[in-house]
Amino acid sequence: MKKRPSGFWVPGFQYPVEMDPSVTYGSYLAVDELLSLQRPRSEGPEHDEMLFIVIHQVYELWFKQLLHEVDHAIALLEAGEPHRAQHTLKRILTILKVLVAQLDILETMTPLEFQSFRQRLEAASGFQSDQFRQLEFVLGNKSRAAIDRFGANTRARAALESRYGKPTLWDAFLKYLAREGYAVPKESLSRDVTSRIEPSAALQDTLIDVYRKDPKHAEMCERLVDLDEGLQEWRYRHIKMVQRTIGAKIGTGGSSGVQYLATTLMTPIFPDLWEIRSRL
């Protein structure tokens, strides 16, 4: 038993093991580096640019965590650990709710406040978030074009390339259901994982069976629907936020803005889980 040498901790408290005193809150979390990463480009700088940078950086960190958790959920399904996979799905949903709620903060920024620094964003746009695309990829919305937007030998491109050929969360779930004895169609189990998830009538029959006879697995299907709905909710809230901030202006990423974003709405990640609702 060794008493810690300085005044950061409760006096007299005996730590059970020798600890490294160089590990502090600041060093462990790299706080100095973290706080040096907010670099406004506007003259002054404009007050609201700090919020804009911080909120995007926070989103990127949450995207990182979401990818970490979705990868974990896939690994747990592959390992035949449904309870832990479901626990992980619950965490993913809780993070998604925070992602949606955070848009409220950005909506406190008025169109004129955004206008004060918007030009300094040049062509930068959330459209170029490779982690958002990675998330779409791991959930089943893959596209070669999304990879080709990133330059050769970049971290972003390598990450997307690596995810492109890998099975998605949906593939892991279907394989798990098949191992549990469900009649998952062969075409669904051996589908091309680089293409979008297409609805399958035969698979829907099996899913209806799950819902009617197997509350445990029906519950897991519902968590996947929550995830799908959560992402659609984020898209909807993002569009409304964009609309109230820039109206019908074109995006800094070069798209038609709200008009383009509207095309991404109401597109489910797991179409079969939505199709079966009217037959249940």
Give me the least distance between CB of 203 and ligand HEM, in Å please.
26
Q: Calculate the CA dihedral of residues 161, 165, 168, 172 and round it to 10 degrees.
A: -140
Beta carbons of 167 and 74 less than 8 angstroms apart: yes
Cβ 191 to ligand HEM shortest distance, Å: 23
Q: Which of residues 229-248 bind ligand HEM (CB under 6 A)?
A: 238, 242, 245-246
> Could you tell me which stretch among 10-18, 126-134, 188-196, 217-225 binds ligand HEM (CB under 6 A)?
126-134
Range in contact with ligand HEM (rule: CB under 6 A) among 11-19, 54-62, 156-164, 267-275? 54-62
Q: Which of 42/264 has CB closer to ligand HEM? A: 264
- What are φ and ψ of residue 277, in 5° steps? -55, -40
CB-based contact 7:13 (threshold 8 Å): no
Which of 88, 252 has the CB closer to ligand HEM?
252
Residue 271 engages ligand HEM in binding (rule: CB under 6 A): no
Distance of alpha carbon 224 from alpha carbon 229, whole angstroms: 9
52 vs 47: CA distance, rounded Å: 10
| Best CA proximity match to 116, nearest among 36, 38, 40, 56 | 40
| Contact (CB, 8 A) for 263 and 257 | no
CB of 82 to ligand HEM, least distance (A): 31
The mark string for 1-40 relative to ligand HEM (x by CB under 6 A, - otherwise) is ----------------------------------------
126 binds ligand HEM (CB under 6 A): yes
Q: Does 262 bind ligand HEM (CB under 6 A)?
A: no
55 is a contact residue toward ligand HEM (CB under 6 A):
yes
Say whether 2 sits in a helix, a strand or coil.
Answer: strand
The encoded tokens of residue 50 equal 């700090």
- 87/235 with CB nearer ligand HEM: 235
* 200: Cα separation from own chain's centroid: 26
Number of residues binding to ligand HEM, judged by CB under 6 A: 23
252 binds ligand HEM (CB under 6 A): yes
d(CA 129, CA 53): 14
Q: Which is nearer to ligand HEM, 63 or 211 (CB)?
A: 63
Alpha helices by DSSP H, 123-248? 130-139, 144-148, 155-164, 169-179, 186-189, 201-213, 215-246
Which one, 38 or 255, has the nearer CB to ligand HEM?
255
The residue at minimum Cβ distance from ligand HEM is 251
Alpha-carbon distance of 44 to 21, in angstroms, equals 40
> Residue 199, preceding bond cis, omega within 30 degrees?
no
What is the per-residue binding string for ligand HEM in 132-151, x denoting contact by CB under 6 A?
x-------------------
Q: For binding to ligand HEM (CB under 6 A), which residues are involved?
A: 55-56, 59, 106, 114, 125-127, 129, 132, 238, 242, 245-246, 251-255, 257, 260-261, 264
